[in-house]
Each structure stands twice: as structure tokens, then as C-alpha cells.
Amino acid sequence: MEEKGKINGVAAMAACYQGFDPAAYLQYNYTPPRADFERKDSIVPWKLACLHRAFTEGDVNGELLVDIGSGPTLYQVLSGCEVFNKVLLTDFLEVNRQELRGWLQGEGGCNLDWTPYLQHVCKLEGRRPSAWPEKAAKLREVITDIVPVDVHCPQPLALDALPSAGADCLVSCFCLESVSPDLAAFTRALGHIGRLLRPGGHLLLIGALGESYYFGGPGVKIPVVPLNEAQVCASLQESGYTLIRLEVYTLPQDMRVGVDDVTGVFFVKARKE
Ligand SMILES: C[S@@+](CC[C@H](N)C(=O)[O-])C[C@H]1O[C@@H](n2cnc3c(N)ncnc32)[C@H](O)[C@@H]1O
Ligand SMILES: O=[N+]([O-])c1ccc2c(c1)CN[C@@H](CO)C2
């Protein structure tokens, strides 16, 4: 895509996000049925199981975990916070950074009760669900900062956000395909965030398959790059990653609740060469 087209596409995406509503987004995607811890086939428990396994199977280690495009959610680092002693959360929008700070600073300051999530991950770790306050304290202890990010910049974070060695692990969920105007931009963004990762570091990527739009709030329809598994794998390879594992979740009918047209969710564990 020629330079002007590239800039217009990315600028148009940024404009779409001006109406993003963290409370609505959480309501749409992080409450039942999509987040139902009693249902084996609910999406969020599947995502938490993928992340728990990926963080605890022994090859992921280091000092610093960075979550790219955190949004208003914390689920993506609930397992990682036990493995890394520094976690950096990032998002493009101040409203999302504010939502995360609200949780960090104590109960009542955010739009979702994360307790069921904390309890569920405690169970995955073989701990009593009643240990959730300790897990919440651990998470608050290791989150070092909540900073701006733009995956379309070759340098997505401020230069002083990371140590020179880079991050030891990146996690990014439903971000790249939801903020890119097309597949080429998605692949470029994958390369940009890869530069934040040290060689040999891991990328844990969760994303939407077959999705062309989602609602980021009432009437806030945001275009999405519709991806299939082959395109995800090709983009990873093109961006200098070695695929370790790809898992796919196909949405049952009753998980399609009208807030998007997603058909599946992918989970990728990859290593930067
Ligand atoms: C679909 S939400 C994903 C939120 C969360 N990670 C999750 O798993 O639900 C996409 C996020 O990307 C952020 N975003 C928008 N434009 C971005 C950009 N250019 N670079 C990085 N993040 C961006 C939005 O603010 C939003 O929080
Ligand atoms: O079911 N889920 O857990 C879930 C969570 C977040 C998102 C989706 C599904 C699908 N749409 C994306 C935005 O492109 C955001």
C-alpha cells in the first residue's frame, strides 16, 4: 500500500477508537455467556486455560512481561504475574489506561469485578479459589506501569518504557487485527511489537478469526481484519517468529451475542528468533 493510503487507513482506525467505551466493551465480552466459569465451552475460561498452560509449562521465563493493547482488561496477565516480577500494561486510549489504574488503586474504581477471574486462575494453579486476594495483591505488586502504545509505530512504546534488552515476553489479545486497516498493516504491526521482544523471548497472541467488525460501545462499530489460521501463521513467520503452538476455539451459536461477527478465536505461542 502506498504511503498515503497507509496513513489514511491507520488514521481512520484511530478515529474509530475515539468512541470506545470500556464499560460497554467489558459488558459485551467479559460477562456471561462469554465469561461463564461454570460452562466448559465458554470463551474466557478457554483463553485463561491457554494462557495458564503457556506461562507455566517451563520455557517462559525472565524479568519483564509486556501486554500490548491491554484495553480495560486484566485477564491476560493473571497467570503471567506469577512468573514475571515486572508487568507493563499498555493501551492506545487514556480511557482504558484510566480503567486499569482504577483497579490498581483499589476496589470500586473499575467497571468489572475481576474476582471470579482471580478465583478461576487460582484453581488452575491448584490453589484454593479463596486465595484470590493474595493473587490480586501479587498482580498489584508486579504491575510497574500503564503506558501509551501504538502498534503502527515502528517504535510502539516510548523509548524509556523498556530496558535496552527488551521484554522477555509479550502478550497481546484481540489488538492487532482490531486496530489494523488491512492484513499488511496487521503483519507490519506484528513486526513492530516484535522489536520490543528480546531474541529468544516469547509471544503469546490471542485474536479473532473471521471477524470483520465489533462494537466498542453502543453504536461504535469498529472494522476488523478478518483473519484465518493460515494468514496468522504466515504473518508470524514473515515477522520473524517461530510458531510453537496454535490452538483454535470455534464459537458455539450461543456465544454469538450480536456484539461482533467473530467465528473463532486463535491462541498462538511463538518465539522470536
Ligand atoms: C478489542 S480491544 C482488546 C482489549 C483487550 N486486550 C482484550 O483482550 O479484550 C483492542 C484494544 O486496542 C487498543 N488500540 C487501538 N488502537 C491501537 C493502536 N494503534 N495500537 C495499540 N493499541 C491500540 C484499543 O484502545 C483497545 O483497547
Ligand atoms: O469472547 N471473547 O472473550 C472475546 C473477547 C474480546 C473480543 C472478542 C471476543 C471478539 N471481538 C474482539 C474485538 O475484535 C474482542
Query: Is the peptide bond prior to 33 cis by the omega test (within 30 degrees of 0)?
Result: yes
Instruction: State which of 17, 31, 34, 256 you would mutate to test the pocket of ligand 2, scoring each by most atoms of that ligand within 8 A of its C-beta.
Output: 34
Mean pLDDT in residue range 23-28: 98
Q: What percent of the chain has pLDDT over 90?
A: 95
The predicted pLDDT at position 2 comes to 65
Q: Which one has a higher pLDDT value, 7 or 169? A: 169
Cβ atoms of residues 217 and 18 within 8 Å: no
Check pLDDT > 90 for residue 3.
no
Lowest mean pLDDT across 5-9, 11-15, 157-161, 212-216? 5-9
Q: Is this prediction's ipTM beyond 0.90?
A: yes
CB of 186 within 6 A of ligand 2: the answer is: no
pLDDT tens track for 146-186: 999 999 999 999 999 999 999 999 999 999 999 999 999 99
32 Cα–ligand 1 center, Å: 21
Q: Which one has a higher pLDDT value, 49 or 3? A: 49
Check pLDDT > 70 for residue 68.
yes
Residue bearing the CA closest to ligand 1, atom 10: 175
* d(C-alpha 35, C-alpha 215), whole Å: 17
CB of 43 within 6 A of ligand 2: the answer is: yes
Task: Give the other-Cβ count within 10 Å of 21's Cβ.
Answer: 18
Task: Give the other-Cβ count within 10 Å of 228's Cβ.
Answer: 14
CB of 175 within 6 A of ligand 2: the answer is: no
pLDDT tens track for 185-209: 999 999 999 999 999 999 999 999 9
Mean pLDDT in residue range 134-140: 98
Q: What is the mean pLDDT of the chain?
A: 96
Pocket of ligand 1 (CB under 6 A): 17, 20, 69-71, 73, 76, 91-93, 96, 149-152, 173-175, 178-179
* d(C-alpha 248, C-alpha 229), whole Å: 8
Mean pLDDT in residue range 55-62: 97
Residue bearing the CA closest to ligand 2, atom 2: 29
How distant, in Å, are the alpha carbons of 43, 227, 237 from that of 231? 22, 6, 10
R_g over Cα of the chain:
17
Task: Name the class of domain 2-261.
Answer: alpha beta
Label residue 103 by pLDDT band (50, 70, 90): very high
The predicted pLDDT at position 108 comes to 76
Ligand nearest to the CA of residue 100, numbered in listed order: 1
Mean pLDDT in residue range 225-244: 98
Q: What are phi and psi of 220, to 5 degrees?
A: -100, 85
* d(C-alpha 231, C-alpha 225), whole Å: 11
The predicted pLDDT at position 126 comes to 98
Q: Are strands 86-91 and 64-68 parallel, antiparallel or unpaired?
A: parallel
Cβ atoms of residues 230 and 29 within 8 Å: no
* d(C-alpha 100, C-alpha 90), whole Å: 10
Q: ∠ at Cα 184 (179, 188), nearest 5°?
A: 75
Q: Which one has a higher pLDDT value, 250 or 4? A: 250
pTM over 0.95: yes
Instruction: State which of 174, 178, 263 you would mutate to test the pocket of ligand 2, scoring each by most atoms of that ligand within 8 A of its C-beta.
Output: 174
Mean pLDDT in residue range 224-232: 98
Mean pLDDT in residue range 8-33: 96
pLDDT tens track for 110-127: 999 999 999 999 999 999
